[in-house]
């Protein structure tokens, strides 16, 4: 089991420079846990693709449905008080703190592509 952020999730469903690594990670450990924030972040990424002509609405809906099938059961609501405290402690965004709180609670790393976050919270994160 690991925690992943939306930057990793998106590469499972949209081909990009990190898709091969994201698929390999999923194949080695398919028990990805995510905070419910991922749904909104993923929707934002997908809507940006649609608005800029990168995909049509039909494909966007399929991707979101597929992503929810993968991760819906492993999606958790994170206490905002914990997010606030960790965000202030590490001087990171509340969004990043949400993923970190989930990782810390499960004593697993957050896998990310965010080098700055890994530098600020090295004990709870690792790069893809």
Domain around 29 = 2-127
CA 6 to chain centre: 3
Q: DSSP code of 18? A: T
**Predicted TM-score of the model (pTM):** 0.94
User: Quick one: pLDDT at residue 91?
Assistant: 98
Comparing CA positions, the residue from 48, 45, 41 lying closest to residue 99 is 41
Q: What is the DSSP string of 32-62?
A: EEEETHHHHHHHHHHHHHHHTTSS-HHHHHH
pLDDT digits (tens, 9 = 90+) for 19-48: 999 999 999 999 999 999 999 999 999 999
User: Quick one: pLDDT at residue 48?
Assistant: 97
Sign of the alpha-carbon torsion through 69, 14, 96, 125: positive
Q: Cα separation of 45 and 76, whole Å?
A: 20
Round the average pLDDT of the chain to a whole number and report it.
97
**Domains of the chain: total:** 1
3-class DSSP state for residue 10?
A: helix
CATH code assigned at 39: 3.40.50.1010
């Amino acid at each position: 089991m690991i925690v992943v952020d939306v930057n990793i999730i998106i590469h499972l469903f949209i081909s990009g420079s990190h898709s091969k690594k994201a698929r390999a990670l999923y194949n080695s450990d398919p028990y990805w846990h995510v905070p419910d924030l991922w749904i909104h972040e993923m929707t934002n990424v997908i809507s940006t693709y649609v608005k800029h002509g990168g995909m049509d609405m039909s494909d966007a809906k399929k991707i979101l449905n597929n992503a929810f099938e993968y991760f819906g059961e492993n999606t958790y609501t994170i206490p905002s008080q914990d997010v606030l405290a960790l965000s202030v402690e590490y001087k990171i965004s509340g969004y990043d703190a949400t993923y970190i709180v989930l990782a810390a609670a499960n004593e697993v790393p957050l896998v990310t592509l965010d080098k700055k976050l890994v530098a600020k919270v090295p004990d709870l994160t690792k790069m893809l």
